[in-house]
Chain A
Amino acid sequence: MTPRDYLQLALFLGILALASPPLGRYIHRVLEGGRTWLHPLLGPVERLIYAAAGVDPTRDHTWQRYAACVLGFTLAGFCLTFGVLMFQDVLPLNPQGFPAPSWDLALNTAVSFVTNTNWQAYGGEATMSHLSQMVALTYQNFVSAAVGIAVCMAVVRGVARAEAQGLGNFWTDLVRANLYVLLPLCVVGALALVSQGMVQTFAASFTALTPEGATQTIAVGPVASQVIIKMLGTNGGGFFNANGAHPFENPTAVSNFIQMLAIFLLPSALVFTLGTAVRRPRHAWTVWGVMAGVFLAGALLIAHFEYRGTPAMAQAVAAGSPATSVAAPGVTSPPAPASMPASTPSSVPNMEGKEVRFGIFSSALFATITTDASCGAVNAMHDSLTPIGGLVALVNMQLGEIIFGGVGSGLYGMVLFIILTVFLAGLMVGRTPDYLGKRIEGREVTWSVAALLLPAMPLLGFTALSAVGWGPEALANAGAHGFSELLYAYTSASQNNGSAFGGLTVNSPAFNLTTAAAMLIGRFGVMLPMLVVAGSLAARRPRPITDASFPVEGGTFALLLTSVIIIVGALTYLPALSLGPIVEHLQMLEGLLF
């Protein structure tokens, strides 16, 4: 890594640390009904929505009612998205005249966007009409993130409230998260991205006559407005097939930096929303520090191995140079730069599937961020990462998308791990576990473990079944890497990430239906149990926090929490990882090819 790389990393974490606490407090305030400078403009819209829908914004929902609203709203959104996709051929705003996708692709895509996964079994610019992109998909980018924020807020209230029946009002949480949090950030962010060269037009394409006389058709579209919410909402679904690697979807290294910040911004801020609600900023900083630590380790690992590249690359770049072949005599040539060794270099940056304007580090950092958060946008092709680079991306997702994680889902997933940590620590020292004065009992632990195990089942189950069933014929790569492609697909789906080892051909009924099932289990198999836990915690009477209470801030707790996250993730998935990236790394070092 170069000094510039370290500087970019430090700047990234610095900006995130500065921006998150005030934004977290702002989110807490608006979701609890506080006024902002946006209210004169958007307040009437908010009230209109409540009036038209018959919502009483003062009503408090029990966890059951809250969950029912989440499911009802999600179902309505699913119908909208599925309907628009199935009829995009006859609906307006289809300048390229695309046909409707197959029913299983439309189903998969609707589930994918509803669950904040944005797994894409299609190539955007060659499949989706502008209407599908703008209504079916961008709509879900907003509301699936807002649902995450709402449920997160409900869980936060569960922790913060005392002897309460309710967790807040789902409809006001949802509408306020959209209008006062996501929308203003998106307008500002989209224009910042256009200033870097991102396109934003309702035209479909333009034609160029190149200097060599060839014709090039260049696809464009309303990209910036969709890309900013795909990042802020940790959605990840690209406008173009190449996602954030496409020059129109990520024109410069600065737009890349903005997008990376946008991915982590809300998950990071929500940690401080929790801190504000429970009035314990040090607890928030401890949790944030754990997230930042695991993130840093991943970023440095991926960067290291991508800079080292592969033996096949080293051979290729050295091929034909003086050390490996004899140069024709008498040819005058400029001397090779002194800094370049003439023999086979020991490490060659892995530029396969990466863009020159980003280089190794901005690609490695992006890959870490997009898999830590459940974003899934990519600016480099993960299928072409080195084995250890791919391993880190897989592990980041398998930890449960809680290292900042998805918008909202990252924090309520982290609360799950906090509860487990407090419980395990309580067992170790033989004391009744409590979290911020709330006693942790069998009900909380049972449902937390359910939320932990549910995503693992489709992840490991479908990976295994596909490997002996519908998987092999869809692979782009042979050997251990082929297995990694399947493992990555079901990890990404089950953890609601959405990135892919893109070589795998996933637009088939078998893949579309199984990944859709995995996405639903991964989303609601965590969300609903956490609402149960929140409802249970809200009803508890808190005990006063004394010196004898288990501290949930400071170094000891950070270490315990990190250990629980790593151990639980490692024990669950290590066997599968051994068959994929770990074996492949050893094979690569032996020079084996498949």
Chain B
Amino acid sequence: MIALARQSLVVTLLLAAVLCGAYPVLVTGAAQALMPHKANGSPVVPRGGVADGRVTGSDLIGQTFTGAGYFHGRPSAAGDDGYDASASSGSNLGPTSRALAESMQARATALRAENPDWKAPLPPDMVTASASGLDPHISPDGARMQVARVAAARGLPMEKVTELVDAHVEGPQLGLFGEPRVNVLRLNLALDALAGGRAEGN
């Protein structure tokens, strides 16, 4: 009994030292040395450098965009206002949920009002909340449906904005994994760069 207690305690402590001490330190050290940008959250550095320690965001984390001159991301259930990057969450509403059906209808109505030029069915990703609430992407159609609005708000020709969207469509990885998508933050930053300065649309 005493032998068993000693074995249990000593093995627990020594394994913890290896698996919780050496292992994460080794992996963190290697990751920080080899891939510091990715290991630190793929931060997006603003043009002109980081002011007061604040970057523009992360390549991987979606943000809220509301201005007519910006492309908007998907509905988000993270935090109270959406896209809270310290409270990731989906809506967890089920297939027969009235609340879900009503919010999808409300989103559809808003999307139609904001983008009256889009006549086709809405892309499903734009009326549904993502799993993390931080989805950085929208589908290519989710971007195309907003082109007319963004172009009008910025006084840019439609073709120019369409070109920009097409240039930002990423295909499946290695041609096989995942789905075609557009990174909303990257697209919006490219828009700002196109306009040569701050956004005009918001």
Chain A: residues with CB nearer than 8 A to chain B?
4, 7-8, 11, 45, 48-49, 52-55, 68-69, 72-73, 75-77, 80, 123, 125-126, 134-135, 138-139, 142-143, 171, 174-175, 178-179, 183, 186-187, 190-191, 194-203, 205-212, 214-220, 222, 224-226, 240-242, 245-248, 251-254, 256-257, 309-310, 312-313, 315-322, 327-328, 331-337, 340-342, 345, 348-359, 362-363, 378-381, 383-387, 390, 476-481, 484, 501-503, 584, 587-588, 592-594
Verify B108–A316 contact, CB threshold 8 A: yes
Verify A175–B132 contact, CB threshold 8 A: no
Verify A197–B59 contact, CB threshold 8 A: yes
- Interface residues on chain B, number (Cβ under 8 Å): 119
Closest residue to B145 on the A side, CB-wise? A334
- Annotate B1-45 by CB proximity to A: 1 below 8 A, 0 otherwise: 001111111111111101110011011101110110011111110
CB within 8 A of A222: which of B28, B58, B141? B28
Report A-chain residues with C-beta under 8 Å of the C-beta of B88.
123, 125, 240-242, 245-246
Report B-chain residues with C-beta under 8 Å of the C-beta of A139.
15-16, 19-20
Report B-chain residues with C-beta under 8 Å of the C-beta of A226.
24
Verify B131–A242 contact, CB threshold 8 A: yes
Verify B116–A355 contact, CB threshold 8 A: no
> Within the complex, what minimum Cβ distance (angstroms) separates B171 from chain A?
10
B164, CB-defined interface residue at 8 Å: no
Given A174-B11, A194-B38, A219 and B85 touching (CB < 8 A)? yes
Verify B105–A319 contact, CB threshold 8 A: yes
Query: Complex Cα distance A175/B89, Å?
Result: 37
5 extra interface residue pairs, beta carbon distance < 8 Å, beyond A69-B4, A210-B56, A247-B132? A8-B176, A53-B11, A139-B15, A251-B60, A476-B92
> Within the complex, what minimum Cβ distance (angstroms) separates A45 from chain B?
6
Given A138-B24, A333-B117, A356 and B179 touching (CB < 8 A)? yes
CB within 8 A of A342: which of B62, B120, B131? B120
Verify A352–B7 contact, CB threshold 8 A: no
Report A-chain residues with C-beta under 8 Å of the C-beta of B26.
187
Verify A211–B35 contact, CB threshold 8 A: no
Report A-chain residues with C-beta under 8 Å of the C-beta of B31.
190-191, 194, 200-201, 224
- Annotate B77-91 by CB proximity to A: 1 below 8 A, 0 otherwise: 010000111111111
Verify B177–A257 contact, CB threshold 8 A: yes
Verify A208–B121 contact, CB threshold 8 A: no
Verify A72–B24 contact, CB threshold 8 A: no
Query: Complex Cα distance A323/B91, Å?
Result: 29
Query: Complex Cα distance A242/B97, Å?
Result: 20
Instruction: Select the residue from A202, A357, A481, A594 with max chain B CB neighbours within 10 A.
Output: A357
> Within the complex, what minimum Cβ distance (angstroms) separates A566 from chain B?
25
Verify A212–B66 contact, CB threshold 8 A: yes
Report A-chain residues with C-beta under 8 Å of the C-beta of B43.
206, 208
Verify B11–A353 contact, CB threshold 8 A: no
Given A139-B20, A214-B64, A76 and B179 touching (CB < 8 A)? no
Report A-chain residues with C-beta under 8 Å of the C-beta of B87.
123, 125-126, 241
> Mind listing 18 A-B residue pairs with CB under 8 Å?
A4-B172, A52-B10, A75-B8, A139-B19, A187-B27, A212-B199, A217-B86, A224-B31, A248-B61, A253-B179, A328-B116, A348-B124, A350-B95, A351-B125, A354-B130, A362-B177, A481-B94, A594-B98
B53, CB-defined interface residue at 8 Å: yes
Interface residues of B in 89-146 (CB under 8 A from A): 89-98, 100-101, 104-105, 107-109, 112, 116-125, 127-139, 141-142
